[in-house]
Amino acid sequence: MTSILESFGNNSMAMITLLIVIPAMLLTTAYLFRRLESRERLLAIEKGVYQPIPAEESYRRGRRIAVVLIAAGVGVILAFVLEAFAHRRPPVAAGLGIIPLTIGLGLLFDLRVQRRELRRSGLQPLPSADRNPSDR
């Protein structure tokens, strides 16, 4: 069985760099956006015009993150499978895409469980894009 580094072939340093640098850049960008949102909220609280984030917005944000993670995982898996197929090697590195894929699936599952709990408690479930407007 080949190791992940062997499956990268001659471009091992480039692939490792991509696997570390791109996620680090994405995490840094997400951190900076969250920090900016927090500062804006604190300034609004100081001025007395603070309005909390609606539940629908946080639900949509969570769903969007889940879909992006699923798409990223599928993309990583496909990229490594195609690369391995082109070089006639086993797709060992394709397993790296399973991590974001399962995280995204877990987030979607958690959103479904939250919606079910809201229904059981008698509260209005959050709106969902997968339902028709006539069903609401």
Does the pTM surpass 0.85? The reply is no
* Beta carbons of 73 and 101 less than 8 angstroms apart: yes
How many alpha carbons lie under 13 Å from residue 50 in its C-beta half-sphere? Answer: 13
pLDDT band, residue 7 (cuts 50/70/90): low
pLDDT in tens, 10-68: 566 666 666 777 778 888 888 898 899 889 888 888 888 877 777 777 788 888 888 98
- pLDDT value at position 3? 56
pLDDT in tens, 69-102: 898 888 888 888 888 888 888 877 777 788 888 9
* Beta carbons of 93 and 8 less than 8 angstroms apart: yes
Give the position of tokens 């959050």. 126
pLDDT in tens, 95-115: 778 888 898 899 899 888 888
- pLDDT value at position 48? 85
Q: Buried b vs exposed e over 43-72: b needs ≥16 C-beta within 10 Å?
A: eeeeeeeeeeeeeeeebbebbebbeebbeb
Q: Which DSSP string do the residues of the chain spell out, in sequence order?
A: ---HHHHHGGGHHHHHHHHHHHHHHHHHHHHHHHHHHHHHHHHHHHHT---PPPHHHHHHHHHHHHHHHHHHHHHHHHHHHHHHHHTT---GGGGGGHHHHHHHHHHHHHHHHHHHHHHHTTPPPPP-TTS-GGG-
